[in-house]
Structure 1
Amino acid sequence: MVKNKYLRYLPLASLFGTQRTRELFQYNPTILPVREEADEVKIYVYDYNAQHFEEQRPAHVADCFSFRDNEHITWINIDGLRKQDVETICNQFGIHALLMEDILSVGQRPKMDDVEGILFCLLNMLYFNETTRTVETEQISIAMGKDFVISFQEDGSRDVFDPMRNKLKMVNSKIRQRGADYLCYSMLDMIVDNYFVVMERLGEQIELLEEEVIRRSNTRSLAHINHLRKELIVLKRNIAPVRELINGFIRSESDLLEDRTTKYFKDVYDHIVQAYDFTENYRDMMMSMQDIYINNVNLRMNEVMKVMAIVTCLMAPATVIGGIFGMNFEAIPLLHNKWGFYISVTAMLFIPLIMLYLFRKRGWY
C-alpha cells in the first residue's frame, strides 16, 4: 500500500526522458560500435526490364550471384544484417571493404560515396511510433552498380518501398523502362517523402501541445515540450545531412548516372530542402512555446503575488489599529469609552473598503 501511494508520481518524472537523451548522444565516432547479428535475414530479389519481371526470395545470399550481369536490372533487398552475409555479397558484386564497414556500422551520419565504380549512400528511414510518440530510425545502405542496386536494412518488418514494389509489377511503369539509377532515385524519393509523414505527425503533437500550454501550463506541459524538442533533434540530425547526400548524386560524374536522371535527383533535393525548412520552423515553434510556458508561469506568479499584496494591504489597517489599542498604556483615547470597541472595529472594516475602491479605480485588479 505504501509503494502504491507513491507510484502515481513516477510517470511525471519519466516524461522528462533522460533515457531518450542518452539514446541521442550515446554514439562516439572514435569508438567502433559492435552491431548485433540479426536473428533472421530475409532476401528479396526483383529482376526486371521493360518486358520481364521476376520476384524471388532466395534462402542464401549466394543464390543472388546468378543475377549479376544478366542484362536485366536487379534490386537485391537484404533485411537483417549479418557480417558474413554482407561480406559475401559485397565481395561478389565488387563493393569496397570501406563500404562494407559503413554498411555494418551503427549511428553513421548520412552520406554518399563513389568508390571503384560503385555509388553508395547511407541514410536513415524515419518512422513515428504512435505509442511512445517518438521518432524511430532505421539505417539503410544502398549500393548501386552497373544494372544492379543492393539495399541493406536493419529491420525486415517495415520499410517505405511497398509503392515502388507495386510499380515494378506494372508493365508500363516508368521504373520498368529505366535503369538502375532511376531505381536508386525512386528509393531515395520514397525515403524523403516519408520524412514528411513523420513531420506531419510531429506537427499534430506540437499543435496539441500548443493548446495545452496556452490553456494550462504546468510541469507536465514542460515535460512534453522537452520531449518534443528531443524528437526534433532526431528529425534534424537525420534530415540535414541528406541534402549533401542528394547533392552528391547531382554533382557526380559517374557513368552509372544518366544525364536525364539528374533532374529527378534535383526534385528530391528540393523536397529535402523543404523538409529541413520545416524542421527549422518546428524548432522555432518549440522555442516560442517554451517562452510562452515561462511567461505563463511568471504571469501566474505575479497574479499570486498581487493577490497576496492586496490582502496584506487590506489587513494593514486592522493590524495598526489593533496594535495601537493593544499597547500597555492607560492614557489612550477611547480606551475607556463604551463605544471605543465599535469605533475601532468599524475603522478596521471601513478603511479596507476605501482601499479596495481606490485599488479598483486605479485598475490594480
Structure 2
Amino acid sequence: MPKYLAMIDEKTVEKHTWPEDETVLWVDLGREEKDELQDIVSRLYHAHPVAIEKVLRGHERPSGFLIEEDAIVAVISDPTANVADKTRRPIGLFFGQRFLVTTHFHGDNGLIDTTWNKAMKENMLEQGLDFALYYLLYNHLRHFYQATRQIGQDFERLHVELLREPTKNLALKIVDLRKKTYWLYKVIRPEIKIFALLKEHIPYIKRDNRPYFEDLYSQIEEILTDVEAYRDGLEGMVEAFSGMQSNEINKVMKFLTIISVLALPATTIASIYGMNFWIPEIHWHYGYWYSLIVMFLVTVALLLYIKRNRWFR
C-alpha cells in the first residue's frame, strides 16, 4: 500500500489513503505498488509516458532524468553497503511544485525510511518538499561516501601489501578492486547531471533552500573526484606491480648470470685440460693441484671485480 505524507494544518502527517485536503504531498511506492504508479502520478499532473517508463525501467540504466512542464523526473542509483556486491537500488523521483513521488521497486537500503521518519519527526514538510528532497539526496550521498571510503581502504591496504611483498602475486586483487571502482564510477557519473540540474534556479526549489542543493552538487563532485583518483591510482598500481615483477625477474636473472660468469673460468680451464693434446702439466706431479689453484684464483679475482663494481646491488 502506498504511503502518503501530507502537510495538514501546518503539520506533517502520515496517511494511508489519499489525503484530499493536503497543501503539499509526498507519496512513496514500494515493491508491491509498481502497478499503481500510473494512477498515482496521473492524479498529480499529466505525466508523459516516457517519464513513467523511465522510472519503471530504472533498474536497466544507472541514472537519468527528464524535464517536464510540471515536474522533474529522475532515477538515482543507491549503492548497497558492500561494494563487492556491485548492486544498486534504483530510486524514482517525481518532483513538482506541490508533490514529491518516490519509488523503490527494488529496495532502497533504508534510504526512504530514514528520510520519511526524519520528515515526520521534524515536521520537515513545513520547510517545503524541496527540503525533504534535499535530505533524501543528502542521505543518498552518504551511501556514496561509504562506498567510496570502502574503495579507499581497500586501495590503501593493497598499496601497502604491494610495497611490503613485491614478489606476491596481487594481480587478481588489483583487477577485482579495479572492477569495483569502475562500477562505482559508472553509477556516480550520470548523477552529476541530476545534481547540476537541481542546483539551478528551478521554480520548485525555494530561494532559501537553493544553497542546500548547491552543496549537494559540490559533494557529489568531491565523491566523483575521489573515485576517479582511485581509478587512476589503480591503473598506476598495475604498472607498478608489473614493474616490480619485472624487477624481481631481473634480480633472478642477474644472480644466475653472476653464477654463470663465476663458473666460466673454471669451466674454461677444465675444458682446456680435457682436450686430447699433450700438455706439460699432465706429467707434472703437482699438475692437478696447480689447475685447481688457478681455477680458484681466477674465480676469486672475478668475484672481487664484480663486488668492486657493485654488481651485487
| TM-score (structure 2 length as normaliser) | 0.90
Secondary structure of 1:363's match? coil
SS of equivalent residue, structure 1 residue 169: helix
Query: Residues 50 and 177 of structure 1 are in contact (CA less than 8 Å); yes or no, is this contact kept in structure 2?
Result: no
State the one-letter code of the partner of 2:177. Answer: L
RMSD of aligned residue pairs (Cα, Å): 2.3
Match 2:14 to one of 55, 60, 63: 55
Equivalent residues of 1:247, 1:269 under 8 A apart:
yes
Q: Deviations over 1:87-117 (max 9, x none)?
A: 3323333332111110121332423322131
Equivalent in the alignment of 1:193: 142
- 1:316 is displaced (CA, Å) by 0.2
- Secondary structure of 1:168's counterpart equals helix
Unaligned runs of 5+ in 2: none
5+ residue gaps in structure 1? Answer: 1-41
Aligned mates of 2:244, 2:78 — CA distance in 1: 38
Q: Give the Cα–Cα distance (whole angstroms) in 2 for the partners of residues 72 and 335 of structure 1.
A: 117
**What residue is the counterpart of 2:5 in the other structure?**
46
Identity, % of aligned pairs? 21
1:361 aligned residue: 308
Residue number in structure 2 paired with 1:268: 216
What is the alpha-carbon distance in structure 2 between the residues aligned to residue 52 and residue 364 of structure 1? Answer: 82
User: What SS is found at the alignment partner of 1:119?
Assistant: strand
Paired with 1:49 and 1:263, the residues of 2 have a C-alpha distance of 27
Conserved? CA contact 1:119–1:145, under 8 Å: yes
* TM-score, normalising length: structure 1: 0.78
CA distance in 2, matches of 1:352, 1:159: 74
Deviation at 1:127, TM superposition (A): 2.2
CA positional deviation for 1:186: 1.6
Counterpart-to-counterpart distance in 2, 1:54 and 1:281: 44
The reply on whether 1:184 has 2:133 as its aligned counterpart is: yes
- Displacement of 1:248 in angstroms is 1.2
Aligned length: 310
1:90 aligned to which of 37, 41, 49: 41
Quick one: distance in 2 between partners of 1:278 and 1:52? 40
Equivalent position of 1:123 in the other structure: 76
Shift of 1:219: 6.9
Q: What are the residue-to-residue correspondences of 1:215-234 with 2, within 5 Å?
A: 215-217=164-166, 220-234=169-183
Taking the TM superposition and a 5 Å limit, the aligned residue runs for 1:113-262 are: 113-129=66-82, 133-156=84-107, 158-171=109-122, 175-217=124-166, 220-254=169-203, 256-262=204-210
Q: Output aligned runs, 1:6-21, within 5 Å.
A: none
Specify the alignment match of 2:228 in structure 1. 280
Deviation at 1:50, TM superposition (A): 7.3
* Residues 80, 155 of structure 1: 8 Å contact kept: yes
Q: Displacement of 1:284 after TM fit?
A: 2.2
Residue 325 of structure 1 corresponds to 273
SS of structure 2 residue aligned to 1:113:
strand
Identify if the C-alpha distance between structure 1 residues 326 and 246 changes in structure 2 by more than 3 Å, giving closer, same or farther: same
Q: Determine if contact 1:214/1:292 at 8 Å carries over to the other structure.
A: no
**In 2: Cα distance, 1:250 partner to 1:208 partner:** 37
Separation in structure 1 between the aligned mates of residue 90 and residue 311 of structure 2, nearest angstrom: 60
- Amino acid across the alignment from 1:154: F
The Cα of 1:134 is off from its aligned counterpart by 4.2
Distance (whole Å) between structure 2 residues aligned to residue 194 and residue 348 of structure 1: 72
Classify 1:290/1:155 alpha carbon distance in 2 versus 1 (closer, same or farther; 3 Å).
same
Q: Which has the higher helix share?
A: 2
Distance 1:84 1:100 in 2: 11
Shift of 1:306: 0.5
Aligned residue number for residue 298 of structure 2: 351
Quote how far apart the aligned CAs of 1:218 are. Answer: 5.4
| Distance in 2 of aligned mates of 1:234 and 1:191 | 17
Cα distance in 1 between the residues matched to 2:219 and 2:157: 26
Q: Which moved more, 1:142-151 or 1:215-224?
A: 215-224
